[in-house]
Amino acid sequence: MEDKRNPRPVEESSQVPNITLLVLLGLIAALLYVGWQYLKEDSISDNELTNAGTDSIAVIDNNRESPVVAEAASDEESENQEKAKESEENKTDRKEEHKKEVKKEKKSESKEKTPTKTKVEKSTDSKASDASLGKGETITHVVQAGETFFGIANRYNLKWQSLQKLNPSVNPEGIKVGVTKLKVRVLKVHTVGSGDVLRVIAQKYGVSKALIMQANKKTKDITEKGEKIIIPLN
């Protein structure tokens, strides 16, 4: 009898192990790739951690060193400031010494020139002399508040010695306001007429306008008709 069973396909059974082997190889390759990537990421993270650690150490070191640098800079600034102060003090000391020397020189020069100055002042005294007291006329001056014997003499262009001769019984230090009356010698008492101004009056009597204003206590060149103007001795 002939065997009626179908024969086993030879080719299909032989291909199954090959496919399985390929699948296993693919899985192994995939696992190896995944493991390699994992190891690579671990190494990168380790490097980053080490770099971060070194950076933090460097920052800490820098923070530790910065106070030292700041202290050194502050020391240099303080030294520079002290040097500047010392130089300024030296300059001021030199200036003061120079001023003292100049003052000494001026004092010595003034002492040497003092006698000549007194001689010139005596020779150029513009006050009326005793000889001129015989000229003009005599008026009576009543002492006012704030006036002194020497101030009254100066007002009328007289030496205080001349005023003392005119008033021998008066104590120069004992005059009283509204009580003491002094005899004063003047050139003229002028009555202001039409067109009279101090400049014209001064030219008429040969006396400076400044002396006339001083004798009459005027600050401006203003006169009124009928006003009495004292003309001091020149």
Q: What's the pLDDT at 121?
A: 35
CA distance 145 to 42: 113
* Domain 130-231 indexed as CATH 3.90.180.10: no
Sign of CA dihedral 175, 176, 180, 184: positive
Asked if residue 160 lies in contact with residue 150, where contact means CB atoms within 8 angstroms, the answer is yes
CA distance 223 to 208: 16
Q: What's the pLDDT at 114?
A: 45
Q: What's the pLDDT at 52?
A: 55
CA distance 86 to 222: 64
Q: What's the pLDDT at 31?
A: 85
Q: What's the pLDDT at 38?
A: 77
pLDDT < 70 regions, the chain = 1-16, 42, 44-75, 91, 105-126, 128-132, 134
Cβ atoms within 10 Å of 198's Cβ, excluding its own:
19
Q: What's the pLDDT at 128?
A: 66
